[in-house]
Amino acid sequence: MNKPVGKHLLDIKSLEHQEIEMLLKRAEHWSEQKSPSGPLPLAGKFAVNLFFEPSTRTRFSFEVAQKKLGLNVLQFSAESSSVTKGETLYDTLKTLESMGVEAAVVRHRESRILEPLADRVNIRLINAGDGVNAHPTQFLLDVLTMKQHFGSLKGLQVAIIGDLRHSRVARSHLWGLPRLGADVMLSGPEQMIIDPQKEGVAYPERIRVLPVDEAIRRADVVMMLRIQLERHDGELFSSPEIYQRQYGLTLERAEQMKKEAVIMHPAPVNRGVEIADELVESEKSLILKQMENGVYTRMAVMERALGGMEIWQPYLQTVNM
Ligand code: CP
């Protein structure tokens, strides 16, 4: 395995299995310890959060994670930066790099915007969500949450329901979950479904498209997705009421879930559309736990980008090599 230090994080498919395991173990360490007890591992270093699209969870959990590790965090607003004068993302990254900033967390509306830049910059790139392509840290925090609850992903039945077509979260899970042993069920309106074969995922045989009620009845994890109206270019969506009745996790559908099954959602949540208001903070819901785990996961991701090998040494013996 390549050393898990000084790395970009562009997507899940480019992570080796052992790297995923190590990141999860380190995130679990932070979930137990919450904050460093001794010297701050990344003290004195600089990171920047470049968000070209709105965000609450990803942006602020990265910032909390970075500050817990001792990083100096630079904030960025596209509206008040030289992007408004036509500066490219490459030039923005090189500018920050020349000032000694060592990591850039980037959210962007354009899919795969970081891939052609990765070999051209030294600043570590961390994908915080690019278009409909990938959301690797959401994948990691979701998997951490599932592992904490179920122990293992082997044989876990995960139903991902909703606007799959516009979901970078779903695409990261399609790549990652089957590799970790989970079976994935997809469900939603026909015009929002994706074809796993066309996505070119690693284990398409572990992915099935099912009617929503069947997926909910079979699932150990019911993961609901928001309708991403901001990415729709046509009439894909009739009304919140019709959508909820046809595809939403209503109280009636939640009654059909297995006794031990849980509800997840990457959020933001549209209460009363893809999920009933009462279910968001119900006993079955892990949604707030996902948000908490976002901090611990992003601490591990920042350490992978900027920390030394000594952080990872204890985990090398414990992951399947
Ligand atoms: N889940 C997620 O990416 O949320 P934000 O858009 O608020 O970051």
Q: Yes or no: is domain 17-135+291-316 CATH 3.30.750.24?
A: no
Q: How far is CA 115 from the centre of its chain?
A: 17
pLDDT value of residue 318: 83
CATH 3.40.50.1370: which residues of the chain?
17-135+291-316, 136-287
What pLDDT score was predicted for residue 321? 47
- Residue where the block lists tokens 């069947």: 214
DSSP line for 258-321: -TT-EEE--S---BTTTB-HHHHTSTTB-HHHHHHHHHHHHHHHHHHHH--GGGTHHHHTTS--
Output the CA 54–ligand 1 centroid distance in Å: 8
In the chain, helix, strand, coil percent, each to 5? 45, 15, 40
The pLDDT tens digits along the chain (321 residues) read 777 788 899 999 999 999 999 999 999 999 999 999 999 999 999 999 999 999 999 999 999 999 999 999 998 988 888 988 999 999 999 999 999 999 999 999 999 999 999 999 999 999 999 999 999 999 999 999 999 999 999 999 999 999 999 999 999 999 999 999 999 999 999 989 998 888 889 899 999 999 999 999 999 999 999 988 777 766 666 788 999 999 999 999 999 999 999 999 999 999 999 999 999 999 999 999 999 999 999 999 999 999 999 999 999 888 754
Whether ligand 1 lies within 6 angstroms of the CB of 167 is answered as: no
Closest ligand 1 atom to residue 56 Cα is: 7
Regarding the beta carbon of 94 and ligand 1, being less than 6 Å apart is answered no
Which residue has the least CA distance to atom 5 on ligand 1? 55
Q: Is the CB of 266 under 6 A from ligand 1?
A: yes
Residue labelled with tokens 């479904």: 193
C-alpha 143 – ligand 1 centre gap (Å): 16
Angle, CA 67 vertex, CA 66 and CA 70 arms, to 5°? 95
Q: Which atom of ligand 1 lies nearest, measured to the CA of 53?
A: 6
Place of tokens 């173990």: 25
CA distances to 20, 31, 173, 301, 310 from 141, rounded to whole Å, are 11, 11, 11, 11, 23
Position 320 scores a pLDDT of 58
How large is the greatest C-alpha to C-alpha distance in the chain, in angstroms? Answer: 57
111 HSE (CA, 13 A, CB side):
10
Please name which of 115, 116, 142 lies closest in space to residue 127, comparing C-alpha atoms.
115
Regarding the beta carbon of 228 and ligand 1, being less than 6 Å apart is answered no
Amino acid (1-letter code) at residue 278 = E
267 in contact with ligand 1, CB cutoff 6 A: yes
CA angle 74, 80, 82 (to 5 degrees): 90
Give the number of the atom of ligand 1 that is nearest the alpha carbon of residue 107.
8
The burial of 190, by beta-carbon neighbours within 10 Å (0-12 exposed, 13-18 middle, 19 or more buried), is given as exposed
From 50, 51, 52, 55, the mutation candidate for ligand 1 (largest count of ligand atoms within 8 A of CB) is 55
pLDDT of amino acid 235: 63
- Cβ(56) – ligand 1 distance below 6 Å: yes
C-alpha separations of 87 from 49, 125, 144 in Å: 17, 18, 37
Positive or negative, the CA dihedral 137, 129, 288, 170 is negative
Distance in Å, CA 310 to ligand 1 centroid: 31
Q: Are 45 and 102 in contact (CB under 8 A)?
A: yes
Spatial distance between the Cα atoms of 302 and 305, rounded to a whole number of angstroms: 5
Q: In whole angstroms, give the CA distance from residue 166 to residue 193.
A: 9
Rounded to whole angstroms, the Cα distance separating 293 from 295 reads: 5
Which of 50, 58, 130, 270 to mutate to test ligand 1, by most ligand atoms within 8 A of the CB atom? 58
CATH number of this structure's domain 136-287: 3.40.50.1370
Cβ–ligand 1 contact at 81 (below 6 Å): no
Q: Is the CB of 109 under 6 A from ligand 1?
A: no
> How many angstroms is it from 272 CA to the middle of ligand 1?
19
Answer yes or no: are the C-beta atoms of 67 and 42 closer than 8 Å. Answer: no
